[in-house]
Amino acid sequence: MTSGVLRFAAAHRDLEVQFTSCEPNDYYRAWKPNALIIDASSQTCTRETLADLAGRAIVYVNTTPRADLHRPYATITTDERQLALTATDLLLGKNLNTFAFVGTPEKAKWSEARRRLFQAALKDRGKRLLTFTAPAAADWRTQERALADWLLNLPKPCGIWAACDARAKQVLDTCRLAKIDVPDQIQVLGVDDDNYICELTLPSLSSIAPDFEAGGFAAAEFLYGILTGSKVATRTVLKFSLKGAVERLSTADVNGTARRVTAAREYIRKHATAGISVPDVAASLGVSTRLLEKNYRAVTGRTVLADIQAMRLEKVKDMLRKTTMPIDNIGPFCGFNSPSHLKTLFRSTFGMTMSDYRRS
């Protein structure tokens, strides 16, 4: 944002721009600026301190205006809805079926807004959102253990949007600690495109980039308009536009592994009860059985056959609950040709007979 302010000032030689903390020294107090741009750190400043610097107009960056200063002002905030839509489009474009959100531990308002809008955007596309809830008042190591457990138990492959780059880095660090492969098992997306975090994190972090420079330019332009009398609006709402998503390795499914496994799981979901085999699944994707098995186990930790049988058994349970069909007749409707094999498998999986399950 600073570069945008300075770019505007460079084109208007009558402007002087200085930078200070919320506890300015005597030099800045004596300077008496005509206008002020402040961010969330101003919440700790006293009214008197801000009044000394506020001059004739203020721009509030991602923070609530101070009504007690009685100055013309603009607010400039991130376009949360556009952020959520960008995250949704990028992760849906990976052909993933599982989506999750990791917000700030303290559930900051802006973080919760991103979560809600992400959830709504996914719901519009027929998808649901899983959310990590950090333990209350926990130190980082406690949070890290809880996050690792949550990540390990997520259905995979999964796309995670983190509330900001710093939080996304914690997700990537925890994935590495828990030996979760990124991007094959989990893909991670941040916000802010902080170059130091995104380029130096392992793997490098994909992130949505707000156009902070354009926002700084717009803030300076608003203040200049107030000072020169060309702007009459005393309360203006500005938004940081988006440059878009900058993709790096954390969402780069270079080998198509995550995409392949997602397609396999969708095929199994639709056809498991039709008597399909592992080679049938591989053929539907146009790959070898060996490659499919390798990718599937790497991402899900299970075999293709295990998931086919799990889907079939869920159908068996559903028919036991909802129909009075004789038990020996259920198998063919669920992909099992042998009643005795089905009974043995059911008992070894659920610890009870099919008859006992129906009665329960």
Encode the chain in three state secondary structure. CHHHHHHHHHCCCCCCCCCCCCCCCHHHHHHCCCEEEECHHHHHCCHHHHHHHHCCEEEEECCCCCHHHCCCEEEEEECHHHHHHHHHHHHHCCCCCEEEEECCCCCCHHHHHHHHHHHHHHHHCCCCEEEECCCCCCCHHHHHHHHHHHHHHCCCCEEEEECCHHHHHHHHHHHHHCCCCCCCCEEEEEECCCHHHHHHCCCCCEEEEECHHHHHHHHHHHHHHHHHCCCCCCEEEEEECEEEEECCHHHCCCCCHHHHHHHHHHHHHHHHHHCCCHHHHHHHHCCCHHHHHHHHHHHHCCCHHHHHHHHHHHHHHHHHHHCCCCHHHHHHHHCCCCHHHHHHHHHHHHCCCHHHHHHC
pLDDT of residue 148: 96
Answer yes or no: are the C-beta atoms of 187 and 253 closer than 8 Å.
yes
Answer yes or no: are the C-beta atoms of 194 and 210 closer than 8 Å.
no
Tokens of 160: 């995670």
What is the total count of domains within the chain? 3
Q: Rounded to an integer, what distance in angstroms lies between the CA atom of residue 353 and that of residue 329?
A: 15
Question: Are 293 and 347 members of one domain?
Answer: yes
Question: Are 284 and 349 members of one domain?
Answer: yes
pLDDT of residue 27: 59
Question: Are 224 and 200 members of one domain?
Answer: no
Q: Rounded to an integer, what distance in angstroms lies between the CA atom of residue 360 and that of residue 357?
A: 5
Question: Are 53 and 89 members of one domain?
Answer: no
User: What CATH number is given to the structural domain containing 171?
Assistant: 3.40.50.2300
Answer yes or no: are the C-beta atoms of 168 and 162 closer than 8 Å.
yes
Question: Are 108 and 190 members of one domain?
Answer: yes
Per residue of the chain (360 residues), what is the pLDDT tens digit?
Answer: 888 888 888 888 888 888 876 555 555 667 778 888 888 766 666 667 677 666 778 888 888 777 666 778 888 888 999 999 999 999 998 888 899 999 999 888 899 999 999 999 999 999 999 999 988 877 889 999 999 999 999 999 999 999 999 999 999 999 999 999 999 899 999 999 998 999 889 889 999 999 888 888 888 888 888 888 876 667 788 888 888 898 898 998 767 787 788 889 889 988 999 989 999 999 999 999 999 998 888 778 789 999 999 999 999 999 999 999 999 999 999 999 899 999 999 999 999 999 999 988
Mode of pairing for the β-strands spanning 206-210 and 242-246? antiparallel
**Domain edge (last residue) among 220, 243, 266:** 243
**Domain edge (last residue) among 251, 282, 316:** 251
- Give the Å distances, CA to CA, from 297 to 22, 233, 265, 278, 300: 54, 60, 12, 13, 5
**What pTM was estimated for this model as a whole?**
0.74
**Domain edge (last residue) among 251, 282, 312:** 251
Q: Which residues pair with 245 in a beta bridge?
A: 208
Question: Are 239 and 280 members of one domain?
Answer: no
Question: Are 296 and 318 members of one domain?
Answer: yes
Nearest to 186 by CA among 152, 151, 147, 157: 157
pLDDT of residue 2: 87
Radius of gyration of the chain (CA): 28
pLDDT of residue 26: 59
pLDDT of residue 299: 78
Q: Which residues pair with 57 in a beta bridge?
A: 35
Nearest to 258 by CA among 186, 206, 355, 330: 186
Answer yes or no: are the C-beta atoms of 76 and 62 closer than 8 Å.
yes
Question: Are 60 and 46 members of one domain?
Answer: yes
pLDDT of residue 96: 86
The values of phi and psi at residue 250, to 5°, are -70, -15
- Give the Å distances, CA to CA, from 193 to 90, 162, 196, 229: 15, 12, 9, 36
Question: Are 59 and 90 members of one domain?
Answer: no
Question: Are 72 and 84 members of one domain?
Answer: no
Question: Are 125 and 191 members of one domain?
Answer: yes
Question: Are 96 and 204 members of one domain?
Answer: yes
Nearest to 5 by CA among 17, 14, 23, 13: 17
Domain, as residue range, for 44: 2-78+212-243
| Angle of CA points 236, 241, 244, to nearest 5° | 170
- Spatial CB neighbours of 302, under 8 Å, sequence gap ≥ 6: 296
